[in-house]
């Protein structure tokens, strides 16, 4: 069985927000920070570290 990555991340994110109840500002900062880092000079370094 293969699950798309976006679906797995959505489920983990939903469960994390439901169970741990982080503040909304923290969720927004993490999402915005991830978006900005993905388009920065660090993106290739992070990509090789994740793979």
What is the DSSP track for the chain? ----HHHHHHHHHHHHHHHH---HHHHHHHHHHHHHHHTSTTHHHHHHHH-
Cα 15 to its chain centre, rounded Å, is: 13
**Given this model, what pLDDT does residue 48 score?**
87
Q: Please list the rounded mean pLDDT of every run of 10 residues in the chain (51 residues).
A: 90 94 94 89 85 83
pTM for this structure? 0.66
- What pLDDT, on the 0 to 100 scale, is given for residue 32? 93
How much is the CA Rg of the chain, to the nearest whole Å? 13
Tell whether 1 is covered by a domain: no
Q: Does residue 17 belong to any structural domain of this protein?
A: no
Residue at 4 is within a domain? no
The pLDDT value given to residue 43:
87
Strand runs (DSSP E) across the chain, as ranges?
A: none
Number of domains in the chain: 1
Q: How many residues does the chain have?
A: 51
Position 7 scores a pLDDT of 94
């Amino acid at each position: 069985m293969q699950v798309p990555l976006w679906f797995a991340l959505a489920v983990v994110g939903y469960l994390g927000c439901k169970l741990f109840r982080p503040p909304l500002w923290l969720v927004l900062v993490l999402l915005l920070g991830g978006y900005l880092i993905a388009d920065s000079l660090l993106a290739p370094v992070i990509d090789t570290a994740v793979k």
